[in-house]
Amino acid sequence: MSAGSTMAAASHPAHSTAATTRPARPWRRYLLRLASVALCLLLWQWAAQHRVDLGLITFQNVPAPSEVFRSAWALLQSPRLAAHLWASVVRVFAGFAAAACAGVVLGLLIGRVRWLSDVLMPPLELLRPIPAVAWIPLAILMFPSSELSMIYITFIGALFPILLNTIHGVEGVDPRLVASARSLGSTRLAVFTQVIVPAAAPSIVTGLSIGMGTAWFCLVTAEMIAGQFGIGYYTWASYTIQNYADIVVGMMFIGLLGMGSSAAIRHLGAWLMPWYLLQR
């Protein structure tokens, strides 16, 4: 930077500060997001109506948004929708709750205790790449009921994002914070609960948000095992009878529920971590 530009910046500190801290107008962001969704729907409608065939991808058999919305409206009026939603929500949240407890506790311990990391990380890293669909045969053999098997599949899907983000958060704590707390006479337990956990909390919340999305992602796999209700089961059953519009409806419900659940976790985390918001 030249001397002239430096002097110019120094001569207008208030203007430069106001320019960098000026809050963005939220309604413009919302309008932009709505416009992007509307544009995608219009492109999808056009491609489906004209049966666009690009060689590598074709829309000849893809239902148009108008068909999908008609199917969604029919499902909204059906009494089975509440049963589908309730069954899926119970399975996802049960698996997620178990994964959150196990992932956060194990992540905090593995991140702080080296010998535990040496003992537990090799088998966990061996299991981590296995996709949820590969667990279906073992889940059927391990659990006496299909309901527990489906909850286990969602548990496996949510566990590893939570675990790895928690470990990353613990290992990323500034050592100077720990040293300062110890120099002031804090016990190991106080350092862990009052320094390590709050400092790792943003990464833990990120892992919980990703884990919730992954649990919904594994829902179709989980409900392939057995079941008469559930959004994943509805999507899979629609595929077997080649009802393409209903497939997209099921996908939309899973996407909306997953997005809403992850957003709720992020907002709850932001509310519980005022110190993190002040640092941003």
pLDDT at 33: 86
Dump the DSSP string for 177-239: HHHHHHHTT--HHHHIIIIIHHHHHHHHHHHHHHHHHHHHHTHHHHHTSS-S--HHHHHHHHH
Assess if residue 172 is contained within a domain.
Answer: yes
Give me the domain span that covers residue 237: 87-279
Token pair in block for residue 168: 């990353």
Dmax of the chain from CA atoms? Answer: 77
**pTM (2 decimals)?**
0.81
Assess if residue 140 is contained within a domain.
Answer: yes
pLDDT at 277: 57
Alpha-carbon dihedral angle through residues 223, 148, 212, 164, given to the nearest 10 degrees: -120
Q: How far apart are CA 104 and CA 108, in angstroms?
A: 6
Number of structural domains the chain divides into: 1
CATH of the domain at 244: 1.10.3720.10
Assess if residue 45 is contained within a domain.
Answer: no
Assess if residue 228 is contained within a domain.
Answer: yes
Assess if residue 36 is contained within a domain.
Answer: no
In the predicted model, residues of the chain with pLDDT beneath 70 are 1-24, 227, 276-280
Assess if residue 23 is contained within a domain.
Answer: no
Q: Residue 211 to residues 10, 34, 103, 155, 158: CA-CA distances in angstroms? A: 47, 26, 10, 9, 4
Assess if residue 29 is contained within a domain.
Answer: no
Assess if residue 66 is contained within a domain.
Answer: no
Q: Which amino acid does the sequence have at 243?
A: N
Q: How far apart are CA 87 and CA 267, in angstroms?
A: 25
